[in-house]
Amino acid sequence: MSNETQRLIRLVNENLDYEKIRSNSIRLEKRHFNARNVLNNIVEQLSSKAAESKDHFEIQSPDDLPIYADYDRFVQIVFNITNNAIQFTDNGTITLIGERGYQETVIRIADTGIGMTKEQQKNIFERYYKADASRRAHKYGESGLGLAIVHQLVQQHGGTISVTSKPHKGTTFTVIIPDQTDEEKKDAAKQKQAPKTDA
Ligand SMILES: Nc1ncnc2c1ncn2[C@@H]1O[C@H](COP(=O)(O)OP(=O)(O)OP(=O)(O)O)[C@@H](O)[C@H]1O
Ligand SMILES: [Mg+2]
């Protein structure tokens, strides 16, 4: 496994501190990077887990998919949603879709798994919520914190997350991350003029 891959695993396991994220004490370090590389890395990292559930991955994205985000947090967002997709899908397909919108980057994670009713979809971004109590005993989905954290992280980026789902058909999560704002561009230009001495 690549260093990058190992780093991703560490990140996801270590940094699920919901309270910190919620209280905004985690500062985003936003930068420009190619989101396609993250999609590739996550697929590589989760491929053996997907194989265990007889799922196969597809990526639909341009080779170059610019995004402005905190790299590690973005990894955490996509990793968590994709990890769920595998957990709730057997013998299916998980598609990671990346595209540019108007001044934003759009990531969709679509699965052909068990899906959710409207009722079940309602509270999934709430802390400790599980769509179905019986899923609690499932071999996966331990704490019910994943999507609550994902939601917080997306909001901190000024973005949105939404879900569409049908029982026995599958689920699609859509994450939209806005481009760098004019305000942020000005700040970045200032920083360049008078670089912060981080001593
Ligand atoms: N792709 C999906 N297909 C069907 N149901 C889903 C999917 N993703 C999430 N859910 C439902 O939403 C609930 C909340 O997801 P979340 O990731 O927050 O918690 P979890 O996976 O149960 O636990 P954790 O991620 O903390 O180990 C899940 O328990 C499941 O019922
Ligand atoms: Mg989860």
- Which chain residues have CB less than 5 Å from ligand 2, an ion? 84, 146
Protein residues with CB under 6 Å of any ligand 1 atom: 84-85, 88, 111, 113-116, 124, 129-132, 135, 141-148, 171
| 99 — pLDDT class (breaks 50, 70, 90) | very high
Contact call for residues 166 and 93 (beta carbons, < 8 A):
no
Distance separating alpha carbons of residues 41 and 43, to the nearest angstrom: 5
Q: Which of 36-50, 91-105, 126-140, 180-194 has the lowest mean pLDDT?
A: 126-140
pLDDT tens digits, 16-47: 566 666 666 678 999 999 999 999 999 999 99
Ligand nearest to the CA of 171: 1
The CATH number assigned to the domain with range 3-180 reads 3.30.565.10
Answer left, alpha or beta for residue 124, where phi above 0 means left and psi between -120 and 50 means alpha: alpha
- Angle at CA of residue 125, ends 119 and 128, nearest 5°: 95
Tell me what percent of the residues of the chain surpass a pLDDT of 70: 76
Would you kindly state where each structural domain of the chain is located, as residue ranges? 3-180
pLDDT tens per residue, range 130-184: 666 555 444 444 455 689 889 989 999 999 999 999 999 999 999 999 999 999 9
Q: Which two tokens stand for residue 113?
A: 């798994």
Distance from Cα 88 to the centre of ligand 2, integer Å: 9
pLDDT at 149: 87
Strand ordering across the sheet containing 170-178: 56-60, 93-101, 104-111, 170-178, 160-166
